[in-house]
Structure 1
Amino acid sequence: MPWGVSALVLLFAGCAATPAPPPPAEVSPFNATDTAWVQLMIPMNEQLLPALDVAPASLAQFAADLKASHAQELVHLRQLRDRAGLPDTNVHAGHQMPGLISEADLLVIRTDPSALSKKLHEHLEQTEKLARSEQENGTDAATKEFAASIESSRRDQLGRLGQG
């Protein structure tokens, strides 16, 4: 084989052995608002559930309905969290913020179940605001759509609570 042909064969053989560049990284449809909303809504709902178990008789049916709806929301929120690739840790553990039922709040509610009504108003109002913010600032279509359904639910729930 002439020298020039040998060089071309070696050159092409070397090119064939070069690995192909990796495919471009997939861009997440989730922005910081989407992930923050999911990571906050999960503990907002989770931490409300034990308080609903001690509802006074006047709120018993409403609390049962809230417990069912919030449990259903948690299933969907966890699916969104998993799709976003977020850890299942509570990044808000120990935080004090409006609408988030703390251990101290739960102790007060267990001691005086009538305190639940005020905390429910706060929780429902705050999660309604958070859902509206997600719709305005999020980028993931499914997350924004779910936030819209939560905002609507919270309006209805606040209406029911106000009538009770």
Structure 2
Amino acid sequence: MRARMRVYAATGALALLTACGGTGMTGHEGMSSAAPVAATAARAPSANDADVMFTQMMIPHHEQAVEMAGLAASRVSDVQIKELAAKIKTDQEREIGTMKGWLTAWGKPAMSGHMGHEMPGLLSEKVMKQLASAKGQEFDKLFVEGMIAHHNGAVEMARTEQTDGAHPEVKKMAAHMVIHQRGEVALLQEIGQRL
């Protein structure tokens, strides 16, 4: 994974589009909002290539999780999955806002979708269509399987950031992701055993 991230860093400039602007972004739980991020960027250590690539890749990765969680609102049959999906949606939307704020502060562009990159845990278009067309217990099973894979991929990316990154706020978010998404994976596995 580390080698793959370095390849992305080397080729990222070819795959990136213009930066996302955006206003009214909220900060990550216990972290700065987008406005303070810009204000503190000059005082904090500079973001290195690993920080930038992690942030650029994690935004579309999170966006897919938000899309999956949004589908659960009207398709899921299990109450516990519905509650967890709502939490995932809220948490990851907050993190997306923070990460977009970082890219803006650093003067770095955001990716448009996943730009063909193979990101750990990212579900294929085919699987997303299956999820979108499923309901009830069929949806529950697909959601649990998909979100476990998705979260495990995010944890892999976050661990690479913890090792290779330099910016303390980005590393702090990565550490948060490892802890919380591993916890959600454990819960999803428990739910999956009774479906």
Q: TM-score, normalised by structure 1?
A: 0.75
* Equivalent-residue separation in structure 2 for 1:102 and 1:115 (angstroms): 13
Q: How big is the alpha-carbon RMSD for the aligned residues of Structure 1 and Structure 2? A: 2.1
Q: Alpha-carbon deviation of 1:102?
A: 3.9
- The CA deviation at 1:77 is 1.2
How far did 1:96 drift?
Answer: 4.5
1:117 is aligned, of 116, 139, 144, to 144
Unmatched 5+ residue regions in structure 1?
Answer: 1-25
More divergent stretch after superposition (53-62 vs 34-43): 53-62
The question of 1:70 aligning with 2:92 is answered yes
Q: Is the 8 A contact 1:99 1:125 kept in 2?
A: yes
2:123 & 2:101 partners in 1: Cα distance?
A: 23
Is the CA contact (8 Å cut-off) linking 1:39 and 1:90 kept in structure 2? no
- Whole-Å separation in 1 of the counterparts to 2:114 and 2:132: 22
Pairwise CA distance, 1:97:
3.6
CA 1:97–1:108 in structure 2 vs 1: closer, same or farther (change >3 Å)? farther
CA deviation string 1:132-157 (max 9, x = no partner):
11011111121111111111111221
Q: What is the aligned partner in structure 2 of residue 101 from structure 1?
A: 123
Q: Distance in 1 between matches of 2:113 and 2:107?
A: 14
| Partner of residue 153 from structure 1, selected from 165, 180, 183 | 180
Task: Report the TM-score, using the length of structure 2 for normalisation.
Answer: 0.64
1:46 is aligned to 63
Spell out structure 1 runs of 4+ moving beyond 4 A.
Answer: none
Q: How much has 1:81 moved relative to structure 2?
A: 1.5
Matches within 5 A, 1:17-96: 29-55=46-72, 56-58=76-78, 59-90=81-112, 92-96=114-118
* Separation in 1, partners of 2:155, 2:145: 15
Number of aligned residue pairs: 139
Q: Residues of 1 paired with 2:162 and 2:46: CA distance? A: 14
Distance 2:107 2:127 in 1: 31
Q: Distance in 1 between matches of 2:152 and 2:142?
A: 16
Looking at CA atoms only, which structure, 1 or 2, has the larger radius of gyration? 1
Instruction: Decide whether aligned partners of structure 1 residues 136 and 87 sit closer, same or farther in structure 2, where only a CA change above 3 A counts.
Output: same
